[in-house]
Structure 1
């Protein structure tokens, strides 16, 4: 770049920063091909690149007070804005793609935990109803009243070993019945 072009760019940058009405037009005419080329190469879409180019120059105009010509030339500042705009568009695309994938996936039916718990309780109650006494009574005392084996033996008047045997056999029967019921559903 010649000294004449560099001086012209500096004057244009100063006029742009000052908010000169013709400056935005001149800055756009001077650097929009650079911004557009970067956008179209990254985004791969002409309409998206056109939108990105517009967003870059609108952002630059609105943020022109933050431009410091002593830190970097106007072209470099515009390239930085372009990178941010392009990254935002890529991020937006990614979010849209994820949202679309989420809505098109077949979701597992949502089961209310309270409903699932209620179904489990009904199944256990039905399986326990199939047990005869004293097994049903012993399991009810153990699980619904939270009694120890010794307390159950004392309450119903059976030896401790008999209570333990009834609990073990009853749990095995319940497991088989619930597994069969689970396999059927």
Structure 2
């Protein structure tokens, strides 16, 4: 396919579309375009690329993005030239229709990128908040465990930080299983009371 030239806000030549598309000239260009003549594509681009660009840049407000839209419009027109019906509209009007759809797609792509970025930021902030809360809970739990007696403290550390079962704790500390359960029950009660008191204080 013919390479389409890039255009810029100041570099694109402006054409009198009405004068250039009247009568036989328009019919000749349309026939050649629909027949797949790449010279017709180049001519169409030369005539109406500035029109397409102007619509795009006014809507998007971003010159590089408007240039990309302009390229996409003519590529889409070339690939879909078989669907163009000259009896229903003139070629520039058809190009304007493609431009509006392409600009709408560009706005939607912007919205998707923004939603993805916001989701990433929210997830990162949520993760950091969870980590901070978890750290705070661990610090508070560690502080409360230090208040327990030596044996209950050992029992609770093995239960909460080592994830040992009651039986494993009894074997590890060589104390009766019933004693382990009693220490855990009493320690949990004391911890709950202290933590609730801390919550009321804050």
Same fold (TM > 0.5): yes
Aligned counterpart, 1:9: 26
Can you give the 5+ residue segments of structure 2 that lack an aligned partner in the other structure?
1-17, 134-159, 161-180
Deviation, structure 1 residue 79? 0.7
Aligned counterpart, 1:58: 75
Report the TM-score, using the length of structure 2 for normalisation. Answer: 0.54
- Structure 1 residues 35 and 2: CA distance shift in structure 2, 3 A: closer
CA root-mean-square deviation: 3.4
Using the alignment, how far apart are the partners of 2:84 and 2:95 within structure 1? 10
Q: Is the CA contact (8 Å cut-off) linking 2:60 and 2:103 kept in structure 1?
A: yes
Q: Is the CA contact (8 Å cut-off) linking 2:73 and 2:99 kept in structure 1?
A: yes
**Residue in structure 1 matching 2:185, options 129, 135, 138:** 129
- Structure 1 residues 181 and 82: CA distance shift in structure 2, 3 A: farther
- Structure 1 residues 2 and 129: CA distance shift in structure 2, 3 A: closer
- Structure 1 residues 17 and 45: CA distance shift in structure 2, 3 A: same
Q: Is the CA contact (8 Å cut-off) linking 2:69 and 2:99 kept in structure 1?
A: yes
Per-residue CA deviations over 1:116-162 (Å, capped at 9, x if unaligned) read xxx9xxxxx99x934xxxxxxxxxxxxxxxxxxxxxxxxxxxxxxxx
Using the alignment, how far apart are the partners of 2:49 and 2:39 within structure 1? 15
Q: Is the CA contact (8 Å cut-off) linking 2:20 and 2:26 kept in structure 1?
A: no
Report the TM-score, using the length of structure 1 for normalisation. Answer: 0.59
- Structure 1 residues 3 and 26: CA distance shift in structure 2, 3 A: closer
Using the alignment, how far apart are the partners of 1:41 and 1:3 within structure 2? 24
Aligned counterpart, 2:50: 33
- Structure 1 residues 98 and 22: CA distance shift in structure 2, 3 A: same
Can you give the 5+ residue segments of structure 1 that lack an aligned partner in the other structure?
112-118, 120-124, 131-172
Deviation, structure 1 residue 82? 0.5
For the residue of structure 2 that corresponds to 1:19, the secondary structure is: coil
Deviation, structure 1 residue 177? 4.2
Using the alignment, how far apart are the partners of 1:70 and 1:31 within structure 2? 20
Using the alignment, how far apart are the partners of 1:4 and 1:33 within structure 2? 15
Using the alignment, how far apart are the partners of 1:55 and 1:3 within structure 2? 23
Aligned counterpart, 1:109: 130
Aligned counterpart, 2:155: none
Whose Rg is larger? 1
Aligned length: 130
Aligned counterpart, 2:196: 180
